[in-house]
Amino acid sequence: MRKNDFDPSLLHDLENLELPAAPMDDEEWNRVLSAARGQVHTARPRPRKARPRPIWHWVRGTVAAAAACVLVLGGVNAANPAFAESLPLVGTLFSRINRAEDTHLRSEQLNQYAQTVEQTAESAAGPYTVTLGQIYRDEDWMRLSLVLTVEDDSLAGFDTIRADAGGSMPLDTAEASGALVLENGAAILEEGSGWFTRQDDHTFVMGLNYPLFLYEEDGPLSGETVTMNLYGLVACNVEVLEEETHPWGGSYQQLEYHDETPLKGDYTLTFTIPEPGTEGIRTFTGPEEENGVTLHSLTATPAAAKLDIQVPAEGSIQPKLTTEDGTLLKPERGEGVHVDENDSNSDYRWTYYFDTVPEDCRNVTVAVYNIVDYESPDGYEVLAEFTVPLS
């Protein structure tokens, strides 16, 4: 069966969420029902707060009516992880629990644009060395490239090293493995889970991503000194039990870990957050409109593809990005708001992030799907499709 690594602190916070003080009216009840059926778009916008807050601050700040049904979703996830990951508000959390997302935003062209650092950390408790080799930053994200090396053959039988402390999230996020701790004690959490992947018997590499745009409301983070502590490393082999990619690009996996072996040692790295890079960035600026969908812009940096799009409020909208040769760009996350914040029926303006566009790709196709039935192979319709040039 799939590894069960639910976080006890997660369950504790869910049990202590404040429920609505008054019964739900018809509008609220319909919204919760449509959410449970997967008919509302994933994830309402998260507040862009700097000087990070624990992840559960975001959960408590969402719709009160949805909070009332969160407590039962653990069972839903166990029975049907694909459905749980598609739910509004909590789908991203279940994706993290299920190890469903590949959130590294991998990019081969980062090598020519990234800043070389070569900071090394060792631990007397183990024979391993962790090196921060490169940093790349665009206007929204910062990506770190880490290398773990060992001189002996103790890791020769493993294909993966988890760097997420077993998947648990401490109540004090500054103590999370992989978190960036600023000099004032605030923490910047990585997006997704950290994984070292095998290059050879003695070398494992990992990319970590940090959504700095969630933390810069109080001012830019460029020039800030941060400290990262990696601990709780676990070498293992990973078996994919089930994997599915939907026509619109969303996907999930069920994984099982084998031969889990904890690695001794804690590793501390200190560095300075760089200014956003300006090279290697290509853009398309609209607007282009089709069937109620407005494509405002598409920006491709060496770290990510950023889509600015406006869609009707009703339905469950999912965008899909493909390159000229048909390569699917994996979706990362979405942040959205109503165009008219006082009108819940007004269009949504979304910013979506995807895996980066290869540098030799000059045109990207943006397809916008309305998902009618997540469980049906043909339970969707294409609302709009744009092929846009990047320059």
The answer to whether 73 and 91 have CB atoms below 8 angstroms apart is: no
C-beta atoms surrounding 334 within 10 Å = 23
Q: What is the pLDDT of residues 165-213, one digit of tens each?
A: 555 566 677 788 888 999 999 999 888 777 888 989 999 998 888 999 9
Q: Measured between alpha carbons, how far is residue 211 from residues 121, 175, 188, 192, 333 in Å?
A: 24, 18, 8, 10, 10
pLDDT of res. 249: 75
What's the pLDDT tens digit per position in 317-360?
A: 889 999 999 999 988 888 889 999 899 889 999 999 998 898 88
* CB 352, CB 360: distance < 8 Å: no
Quote the pTM value: 0.70
pLDDT at 166: 55
b/e map 26-44, b = 16+ CB within 10 Å: eebeebbeebbebbbbbbb
The model's pLDDT over 65-114, given as tens digits with 9 standing for 90+, comes to 333 343 344 444 434 444 444 444 444 444 333 333 343 444 455 667 77
36 with 87: CB under 8 angstroms?
A: yes
- Predicted confidence at residue 79, as pLDDT, reads 40
Angstrom distances, CA of residue 181 to CA of 174, 269, 320: 6, 11, 34
Above 60 in pLDDT, residue 301?
yes
